[in-house]
Amino acid sequence: MKRKGFTAVTLLFFVYGISAQVITISPGMKVGKTTKFKKAVYKIDGPADSSRGVVNIEGNNIVVDFGGAELRGDNSAKAPDEFSGIAVYIRNSKNITIKNLKTRGYKVALIARNTEKLTIENCDFSYNYRRRLNSTQEKEDISDWMSYHHNEKDEWLRYGAAMYLKDCSFFTVRSCKVTGGQNALMLMRCNDGLIVNNDFSFNSGIGIGMYRSNRNRVSYNRVIFNVRGYSHGVYNRGQDSAGILVYEQSNNNRFYNNNVTHGGDGLFLWAGQTTMDSGKGGCNDNVIIENDFSYAPTNGVEVTFSRNHIIENRIFECDHGIWGGYSFESTISDNQFRNNRIAIAIEHGQQNKILYNLFSGDKEAIRLWARNEQPTDWGYAKFRDTKSRDYAIVYNSFNNIPIVFNFKMTNNLSVYGNTISQSDAIFKIDSTVSGLDTTVNQKLEKELSIDTATVAIEPTKKYMDPFVGNPKFAGRKNIMITEWGPYDFRYPIIWNTNPADTSDTMRFDLIGPHGNWQIKSVKGLKDVSVMKGTFPASVTARKETGERTDILIELVYTGESFTTAMGEKIPAGKPYNFRFRKFFQPVNWEVMFYRLDTASHNPITTGMLFSLYEKKAPFRTEKKDRLDYAWWGGIKEAGIHYPQFITMANGTVEIKPGNYELSVTWDDAVRVYVDENLVFDEWNPSRYSFDESPNKKIRIGLGGKHHFRVEHLELGGFATLALKIKPVE
């Protein structure tokens, strides 16, 4: 008996020793049991096959501890918009834990499909895929707009992601980090999950995204600076970036105590195409409580076509604090609004309650309105009553607000018990408003006197305070968008602070870690005020005269260690070169616009711009030094609307010899000729099925005098045409 017992103990020790064995990562490996990997940097590109990863996990009851290992897929020195492949792929599994992993240089760091009880913890999925942005400080480029409307066939994956979960239930994402990417955590049909204690910040797209995902808890996360499409004092577009995205029938989720400042939108919620087509469903009964959605270029919170509860949040300095178009039966209560253009804006809302909120310094507090007509292509308006009606606006405090209430085409409003000070106009209404009652509503008073259950929250003692350090980032002025996304205040940068100024003086801020900077060379500027110093600093200079703008400032930094925008760690004391570049090559363009009717002649199918059987004169002719157009719903000229049109642009330029990048943004079709040679052919709109305006770049050698010809078609709807030339560095 003793001998048998000794054998059993030995066997158990042997099994434990095998399970604890540390192994190395190999390309395409399969993992089906508990595994621990050796800590190392593994330079392994992602497979071209999008159905597998570098590491592939399938099975039940598995713990995969990467032990601090780092997977790198950017081994050909590619730019972030060229990253490809998947680092970790999980599928058809149950009770899986992934921990202690770093990845960079992949299109997607981790994908999980059809997995129950997945835990991802203590992982760093920073510096993976992100698109290069074409917008500049002076002008946005329409191609940077994203579209998340559809994800039935994983359309979101074209933008990449740090984590993409599909059909995962009872999952946990805890204590993970994503920065320097485009999208952090994207959920497709994922339910009953916990997202807690994560840092998803300084990405150029989405922090947390949900699509058909329900009953998830999102708490104690730092989700700041997930933004694009902003230039301080020039434009504030957001381009559909957001800290948190909630789309298409995502219900009963709870967002508690998250720091979501400086997002394109803070929280962007849209009912989805199902609701727009049928009038049914929505993203309903989500609870948004005790978060900070301040400093959004567009909306602190956007909630549309749905029923939700927005409670005890802070929303400062946004364009709209809350945009609630077509919201119904929603509660907006106990929030703090400050210095927004419009604090609460709701069109076609119904039976909403706005209670106990504090408004201060907003240009307008509450705007409610309706339109005479609804878009004809919305099924929603055919199946739903869309009148603006039945509001309770009670016990709010309004301080230093020029316009408190701005109502139009709205009926049945109960407005009482509010405290108002320092207002130019309490009510701005017209004859389209009816049923405005400022007496106490006894039925509502009875409802408000009833104690309601508090929202269950996560215990604070386990998790970080996501708001630590917020004061140093306060204000939209701190959103600085580079060509790879928002600046993260960790590396040296020289930033033009007056990009729209037409005078000859340029102003710059030098921002970065503690250290010294020195200007090594300057081109296109004169009278530079300071040539060296310490961070932070300010510099002014004057532009040299000339039609062509070609400005280059090259600097060197020495100081403490830091991490670059590409995730490279620079040790202390090592010289680091950085620069400011601004280039504009004017072209003498003559731009002509012609009527188009594809029912009689379709240039897409014939390949010919004009029919052989008709002669056309342009309905508009313009002289320009650049092509940079955007049209919404066609062109109006002399009282005539042209929903379809042809653009013909001929330009001449004298240019210095060199290699140049030709960047074209268009919608719907375009051809570009240089000296009668076709160099850019995008004449088939069906190649681009997404609701976005494409951009494409080519390299071309130029020098001396050249002739450009651009042919462009707009087939209806939104249109854009932009062409830029810049040297290849």
Q: What is the predicted pLDDT for the residue at 461?
A: 65
Q: Are 520 and 552 in contact (CB under 8 A)?
A: no
Amino acid occupying residue 204: S
Q: Write down the pLDDT at residue 222.
A: 98
d(CA 159, CA 161): 7
What mean pLDDT do residues 459-476 have?
86
Q: Is 177 exposed, middle or buried (0-12, 13-18, 19+ CB in 10 A)?
A: middle
Confidence of residue 245 (pLDDT cuts 50, 70, 90): very high
d(CA 91, CA 57): 7
DSSP code per residue over 66-122: EEEEEEE--TT---GGG--SEEEEEEEEEEEEEEEEEEES-SEEEEEEEEEEEEEES
Residue 12 confidence (pLDDT) above 50:
no
- Predicted confidence at residue 542, as pLDDT, reads 97
Q: Counting beta carbons within 10 angstroms of the beta carbon of residue 194, is it exposed (0 to 12), middle (13 to 18) or buried (19 or more)?
A: middle
* Other beta carbons less than 10 A from residue 610's beta carbon: 15
**Which residues have CB under 8 Å from 10's CB, separation 6+?**
none
Indicate if the pLDDT at residue 396 is higher than 70: yes
pLDDT band at residue 546 using 50, 70 and 90 as cut-offs = confident
pLDDT of amino acid 520 = 98
Q: How confident is the model at residue 465 (pLDDT cuts 50, 70, 90)?
A: very high
Q: Is 469 exposed, middle or buried (0-12, 13-18, 19+ CB in 10 A)?
A: exposed
Identify the pLDDT of residue 470: 87
How big is the CA angle at 557 (ends 551 and 558), to the nearest 5 degrees? 165
pLDDT of residue 452: 63
Q: Is the pLDDT of residue 376 over 90?
A: no
Q: What's the confidence (pLDDT) of residue 447?
A: 86
Best CATH choice for the domain 588-727 from the list 3.40.50.920, 2.60.120.260, 3.30.499.10, 3.30.390.30: 2.60.120.260
Using the predicted structure, report yes or no on whether residue 190 has a pLDDT greater than 50.
yes
Query: If pLDDT is split at 50, 70 and 90, which confidence band does 16 have?
Result: very low
Domains 130-460 and 588-727 share a fold: no
| Cα distance between residue 130 and residue 489, in whole Å | 19
Q: What is the Cα–Cα distance from 132 to 144, expressed in whole angstroms?
A: 9
pTM as predicted: 0.94
Q: Which residues contact 402 (CB under 8 A, 6 or more apart)?
A: 363, 364, 423, 424, 425
Highest-confidence segment of 75-79, 94-98, 378-382: 94-98
Instruction: Quickly count: other Cβ atoms within 10 Å of residue 527's Cβ.
Output: 11
For the stretch 430-452, pLDDT in tens is 999 999 999 999 988 988 888 66
The answer to whether residue 619 scores a pLDDT higher than 50 is yes
Residues 6+ apart with CB under 8 A from 489: 473, 478, 511
Whose CA is closest to 200, among 125, 290, 287?
A: 125
Domain layout of the chain by residue ranges: 37-110, 130-460, 491-579, 588-727
**What is the pLDDT at residue 377?**
82
φ, ψ of residue 175 in degrees (nearest 5): 55, 40
In the chain, pLDDT over 90 holds for what percent of residues? 89
Q: Which pLDDT score is estimated for 455?
A: 56
**What is the third-level CATH fold of 130-460?**
Pectate Lyase C-like (2.160.20)
Q: How does the average pLDDT of the chain come out, rounded?
A: 94
Residue 654, pLDDT score: 95
| Segment 627-639 mean pLDDT | 94
